[in-house]
Structure formats: structure tokens, C-alpha cells
Amino acid sequence: MVRNASELDRIVQGAIVNVIEPIFERDFAEHSYGFRPGRGCKDALRRVDHLLKAGFVWPDERRQNQVFSL
């Protein structure tokens, strides 16, 4: 039995998440890690480490500013 409004609110929010999350989860990009079930900041850092070891580099912002300045 629900004892107060905040308890009921948590139950309703949980039910909504259970329905909506699978619908939107399939549309998220594979490389998205923010606020997703089963993913966190450590997973994102592992991916960055993997990409750096594979030879990918971070774009040089100074070069971008030179290219896009008018």
C-alpha cells in the first residue's frame, strides 16, 4: 500500500520509465553513454582509451578556428 504522495510518484515514474525507455533506447547512438542503462562514465572512458590506442586523435581546436575564421 502506498503511504504518501512521494512514494506514489516514484512508483508512477518507474512504470513510465519501464514503458518509454525501450522505445527510445533503440534510437540512441551506439557511442552515447550519458544516462543510459548499463552504461556509465567508466564505459565512455574505456571507449576513449580504445580509440586513442587505435590511432584516433582529438581534433586540434586551433586548426578549426583557423579554418572557420573569416
pLDDT for 68: 66
* 12, containing H or E segment: helix 5-25
Q: What angle do CA 19, 17, 38 make, to 5 degrees?
A: 110
Q: Is 46 domain-assigned?
A: yes
Would 23 be classed as within a structural domain? yes
Q: Establish if 61 belongs to a structural domain.
A: yes
**Residue 54, domain member (yes or no):** yes
Task: Tell which residue, 21, 2, 65, has the closest CA to residue 10.
Answer: 2
* Span 36-61, pLDDT tens digits: 888 888 999 999 899 889 988 776 66
pLDDT band at 1 (very low <50, low <70, confident <90, very high): confident
Task: Give the total number of structural domains in the chain.
Answer: 1
Instruction: State the residue range of the domain holding 24.
Output: 5-30+40-68
Establish if 35 belongs to a structural domain: no
Q: Cβ neighbours of residue 25 under 8 Å, at least 6 residues apart? A: 36, 37
Calpha distance 52→54 (Å, rounded): 5
